[in-house]
Amino acid sequence: MSSFGAELHNELWASKEQAIQDRGRLNILIAGRSGVGKSTLLNAVFGEYRAQTGQGQPITQSTGIYSKEGSPLTIFDTRGMEMAGFAEGFGSLEREIAQRNKAETDHNRHMHVAWLCIGEDGRRVEEGDIELHRMLAKYMPLVVVITKARSDQGFQAQVEGLLPDARMVMRVHAISAVDDDGLEKKVTGLNELVESTYDLMPEARQLAFANAQQVSADLNLKYINRRKAEGNWDDDLSPLMDSVSSEDLEPLVAYILKANVTEGLTGCPHYKAHRPDHAKYSGAIEKEIRLFGGNTVSNALRGNRGVRYREITIDVAAKIGAKN
């Protein structure tokens, strides 16, 4: 490793915790009656969090909390809210949310958005759903998700009428399924769901959400475009990245992978094809750096003195220029 590389490596690791904190935590609540397809939806949207699924007995017995080492997302998968035990479950859920969402509570503990699932196959909105929707909407933006959507027949409009506090009602079919007649129902509505949810989310949580969901590649782009529109983007980075050697990129790649601050690189085909020849896919590395959102990595590149990225890239360019 070059001495520049070694220096960068040390700076980055010294500030890893800060980088993760800067990014902010994201908490999503998912509610709805047992069997409606909550766990299936979570698996389809967030993949590796792997909530349990099944048929027959309600299998999510109490609120399942799903998170992953190094990831900012926590998912609260509430137990199926059946009429028996509803009051008790409802009360403890509201207490938990109210306590977390007080203004003075650390925003990393807040519940940021809720999905309330209603099964299209059941075609019923029950009193419990109405109460739950009213309660959840008091504390956070609420999206009603009509699950197992195959044939609307006016059901969505009915749901909109019965659950007016929801910010929107969306129809999804979360897994592809073949019925007894051999007809396949494909996955539908997931893109629209994640894109609408992104729009409802506090801005400081949007990056975390864009990275955690696995449905829409456009969400990261949307985030990038907003940062550009805010003037929070510098144009010097791309030419810089084009001119850096694989050796100099090594510590940056190691950091992105191990710190797990974003989750995009390991899934990137260019990364898989070219590593350790990092210069061949420097565009993908650049995207990861930009997606950090906070200035931690930039600051680390510059030795933690809190300067703007533009100056950092000039500085790094000078270092690299001096070496060549």
Ligand X SMILES: Nc1nc2c(ncn2[C@@H]2O[C@H](COP(=O)(O)OP(=O)(O)OP(=O)(O)O)[C@@H](O)[C@H]2O)c(=O)[nH]1
Residues making contact with ligand X (CB under 6 A): 32, 34-40, 53-55, 58-60, 80, 147-148, 173-175, 177
User: Which residues make up the interface to Mg ion (CB under 5 A)?
Assistant: 38-39, 60
In the bound state with Mg ion, the residue whose beta carbon lies nearer, of 61 and 151, is 61
Smallest distance from Mg ion to CB 37, Å = 8
Secondary structure letter of residue 188 according to DSSP: B
In the bound state with ligand X, the residue whose beta carbon lies nearer, of 121 and 247, is 121
Q: Using CB atoms within 10 A of its CB, is residue 223 exposed (0-12), middle (13-18) or buried (19+)?
A: buried
Annotate 111-128 with DSSP letters as a single string: --EEEEEEETTTT---HH
Query: Which does residue 161 bind out of Mg ion, ligand X, none, counting CB within 5 to 8 angstroms by kind?
Result: none
Query: Which does residue 54 bind out of Mg ion, ligand X, none, counting CB within 5 to 8 angstroms by kind?
Result: ligand X
In the bound state with Mg ion, the residue whose beta carbon lies nearer, of 144 and 241, is 144
Q: Using CB atoms within 10 A of its CB, is residue 176 exposed (0-12), middle (13-18) or buried (19+)?
A: exposed
Does residue 276 have a cis bond before it (omega within 30 degrees)? yes
Tell me how far CA of residue 106 lies from CA of 101, 103, 197, in angstroms: 9, 8, 22
The label of the residue with tokens 């019923």 reads: 124
The C-alpha angle 136, 141, 145, rounded to 5 degrees, equals: 80
Q: Alpha helix (H) ranges present in the chain?
A: 3-14, 16-23, 38-46, 86-101, 127-139, 155-162, 190-200, 203-212, 218-229, 237-243, 246-259, 269-274, 282-291, 296-301, 309-323
Query: Which does residue 251 bind out of ligand X, Mg ion, none, counting CB within 5 to 8 angstroms by kind?
Result: none
Smallest distance from Mg ion to CB 165, Å = 24
The C-alpha angle 138, 142, 147, rounded to 5 degrees, equals: 140
In the bound state with ligand X, the residue whose beta carbon lies nearer, of 186 and 305, is 186
In the bound state with Mg ion, the residue whose beta carbon lies nearer, of 23 and 38, is 38
Helix H or strand E encompassing 33: none
Query: Which does residue 35 bind out of ligand X, Mg ion, none, counting CB within 5 to 8 angstroms by kind?
Result: ligand X
Smallest distance from Mg ion to CB 147, Å = 12
In the bound state with ligand X, the residue whose beta carbon lies nearer, of 59 and 200, is 59
Smallest distance from ligand X to CB 315, Å = 51
Query: Which does residue 174 bind out of Mg ion, ligand X, none, counting CB within 5 to 8 angstroms by kind?
Result: ligand X
Smallest distance from ligand X to CB 99, Å = 23
Smallest distance from ligand X to CB 171, Å = 10
Smallest distance from ligand X to CB 110, Å = 23
In the bound state with ligand X, the residue whose beta carbon lies nearer, of 58 and 239, is 58
